[in-house]
Amino acid sequence: MLLRCVLALAILMMPIALRSQTATLQWGDTLRATLDSLLDNPMFLRSQVAIQVYDLDGDSVVYDHGSRQLMRPASVMKVLTATTALNELGADYPFRTTLAYNGIIEPDTLMSDSLHEWQVLRGDIYIKGGFDPLFGEDDMRAFVQSLTERGIRRIDGRVFADLSFKDTLKWGEGWCWDDKEATLTPLLYKAKDMFMPRFLQALDGDSVVHPTGYGRITNGNTANLTVLCERTHTVEQMLTHMMKESDNLYAESLFYQLSAARQKATARLSAEREYALMRQLGLNPDAYTVADGSGLSLYNYLTPQLVVRLLRHVWSRPDILAILYPSLPVAGIDGTLKKRMKGTQAEGNIHAKTGTLRKVSTLAGYATAGNGKHLAFCIFNQGILNSQEGRDFQDVICQELVK
């Protein structure tokens, strides 16, 4: 009892800065001891875990357990994709879908009557896809109106889908045959591979006579075209749905934009842009494997150390943080964390990206500790019996981070 009183008196007599430093050390030691105790769990006799927790205010690692181990990130991969896109392209970078034509527009003697002088397009229609999953009903209506507003009621030529934006791969490298994911086509309508049939239906709806079928172009050789209409959506518009709902198609679309901004989009060239960011952050890209943008591939291998380094980079860039942070799911509130950590101190505090594959569960993002410190963290669970086992462990870790 006497010893406790002496220690308490000594702390009170310390300068304020020293007392603050002591409190921080005590907090760090307590957190480390608690997290170490959570690793004393039978599940880790048969599964693996890697963790890093970083103090963003103190610029130091608070906790580290195997953070350099290469593991499958699952959808935490989307943190790398989003960060690279915001770093290289910016929030306003547009996803473009373009309607253009060649030939001439002239009065149509076949369709015109005493009330209307209709026009005919004597040439071909080309629709160039920009891999935009947000292209929807309003955009399609704008495409058709760009024809009818010019009086065009007949297309005397052909209709082409220009698919030259990206490579011809329909799925990502390392995807399982039974994943049943959407086709990676650059022409999307409501995030589905049904653009051209819906375009022809829309022409029917506005009584525009057109060819019954359409062709495909993959080489992009469409010089001397006149643009009728172009619809765009931005990285910022896409990011919230991509991150909160963990949408794989949106992530792949964003991934392919990384190389499309420089040349024809391919998975390999987009991966090179993500490796370039790793070099910028002082990491060796040869130590990691990037196969896709969504995390669906079984060939992706990252480390918690890398993910935390990305989160630190985002934190240091207010322009990127202002876009990425609000897009992250919030514990107990929305997205893929809506049902997790409800009724705990972590509710509303943890802003993080989830990841799930068979036998894999991951979580990475930001937390504010009870002492006000801002933290970045990443947890990779691999070889688990089921996703719930990994999620339960991560939720307990998060609750300890915010105490």
- The average pLDDT across 227-242 equals 97
Residues 135 and 230 in one domain: yes
Specify the number of domains making up the chain: 2
Instruction: Give yes or no for a contact between 52 and 308, defined as CB atoms under 8 angstroms apart.
Output: yes
Is the pLDDT at 132 greater than 90? The verdict is yes
Residue 115 falls inside a structural domain: yes
pLDDT score of 112 = 59
Residues 257 and 337 in one domain: yes
What is the pLDDT of the chain when averaged over all its residues?
91
- The average pLDDT across 108-135 equals 86
| Residue where a domain terminates, one of 219, 234, 249 | 234
Residues 244 and 364 in one domain: yes
- The average pLDDT across 223-246 equals 95
Instruction: Give yes or no for a contact between 161 and 217, defined as CB atoms under 8 angstroms apart.
Output: yes
pLDDT score of 13 = 45
Is the pLDDT at 12 greater than 50? The verdict is no
Is the pLDDT at 362 greater than 80? The verdict is yes
Residue 188 falls inside a structural domain: yes
Residues 102 and 70 in one domain: no
Instruction: Give yes or no for a contact between 140 and 195, defined as CB atoms under 8 angstroms apart.
Output: no
- The average pLDDT across 226-231 equals 97
Residues 388 and 270 in one domain: yes
Across the strands, what pairs with 160?
126, 215
**Alpha-carbon gap, residue 44 to 383, rounded angstroms:** 9
Residues 343 and 383 in one domain: yes
Is the pLDDT at 165 greater than 70? The verdict is yes
- The average pLDDT across 333-344 equals 97
Residue 229 falls inside a structural domain: yes
**Alpha-carbon gap, residue 83 to 274, rounded angstroms:** 9
Residues 313 and 221 in one domain: no
Residues 85 and 111 in one domain: no
Task: Please report, for the domain that includes residue 36, its CATH number.
Answer: 3.40.710.10
- The average pLDDT across 97-124 equals 85
Residues 179 and 246 in one domain: no
Residues 178 and 71 in one domain: no
Q: Sorting pLDDT into bands at 50, 70 and 90, what band is 185?
A: very high
Residues 243 and 224 in one domain: no
Residue 356 falls inside a structural domain: yes
pLDDT score of 24 = 56
Q: Sorting pLDDT into bands at 50, 70 and 90, what band is 19?
A: very low
pLDDT in tens, 248-290: 999 999 999 999 988 889 999 999 999 999 999 999 999 999 9
pLDDT score of 16 = 42
Residues 345 and 372 in one domain: yes
pLDDT in tens, 29-40: 999 999 999 999
pLDDT score of 138 = 98
Nearest CA to 387 out of 352, 367, 360 is that of: 360
pLDDT score of 114 = 54
- The average pLDDT across 117-146 equals 95
Q: Considering the entire predicted model, what is its pTM? A: 0.90
pLDDT score of 264 = 82
| Residue where a domain terminates, one of 183, 207, 234 | 234
First-last CA distance in the chain: 27
Is the pLDDT at 235 greater than 50? The verdict is yes
Task: Please report, for the domain that includes residue 228, its CATH number.
Answer: 3.50.80.20
Residue span of the structural domain in which 255 resides: 30-91+239-401
